[in-house]
Amino acid sequence: MANYTGPKVKLSRRVGVPIADTPKHTTKRQLNPPGMHGFRGRRLRDFGVRHNEKQKVRYHYNVLERQFRRYLVEASRAKGNTGDALLRILERRLDNVIRRLGWARTIWAARQVVSHGHVLVNGRKTDRPGCQLEVGSTITLKPGIHQLVRENLESLPGHQVPSWLSFDPSTLTATVVAMPTADQVPFDVNMNLIIELYR
């Protein structure tokens, strides 16, 4: 699967919000529009507003357009609100769960941890970042990466693990205890605009 390997801060500047919770992305200077003087150009029309909202979500979860469309089709078949179902699918991706636990500082670092084979899901090695976790899934790490993960946890002193995950810091073991809800996502996005874009 292809993956974006270019400059990451450029993505935050493009959509106008920090897509990672690191100082490099959250400083005010980095949220200026791209270009020498932050030239914004013309005001966005309806399509541009909806497209920008969709790009925020894509960049935040590090998924490509084709993957995103597949998730949207899956969410539209689920019961209830399509936007909430889409967020549930994206939140339960293995690389995102690694990020939410604080085992990696960014989604790109989390993807690397998974794709290099350091993560075990229910005791089996899983190297697919897009692996969907279900309630009751247990996530552990191979011993070789424990030191790096503990350093990452120490570098995020105020990090809060979401309530739909349970985490044992002593053994570096986590379990999915519930389905995530839209209000538990620490990222401000209007899912209705995204659903309207594809209708």
The tokens of 62 are what? 């590090």
Q: Are 193 and 61 in contact (CB under 8 A)?
A: no
Q: What is the pLDDT of residues 116-175, one digit of tens each?
A: 999 999 999 999 999 999 999 999 999 999 999 999 999 888 888 999 999 998 999 999
Report the SS3 class of residue 121: strand
> Residue 120 and residue 127: Cα distance in Å, rounded?
9
pTM: 0.88
Q: What is the pLDDT of residue 30?
A: 57
Instruction: Tell me the average pLDDT across 56-80.
Output: 93
Q: What is the pLDDT of residues 107-116, one digit of tens each?
A: 999 999 999 9
> What are φ and ψ of residue 190, in 5° steps?
-100, 100
Domain boundaries, the chain: 9-90+186-197, 94-178
- CATH number for the 94-178 domain, one of 3.40.50.720, 3.40.50.10420, 3.10.290.10, 3.30.1490.20? 3.10.290.10
Query: Which one-letter DSSP state was computed for residue 66?
Result: H
Whether the predicted pLDDT of 13 surpasses 70: yes
Whether the predicted pLDDT of 189 surpasses 80: yes
Q: What is the pLDDT of residue 4?
A: 77
Instruction: Tell me the average pLDDT across 80-104.
Output: 94
> Residue 22 and residue 78: Cα distance in Å, rounded?
34
Whether the predicted pLDDT of 33 surpasses 70: no
Closest to 90 (Cα-Cα) out of 137, 126, 133, 138: 133
Q: What is the pLDDT of residue 138?
A: 96
- What is the CATH number assigned to the segment(s) 9-90+186-197? 1.10.1050.10
Burial class (CB in 10 A: 0-12, 13-18, 19+), 3: exposed
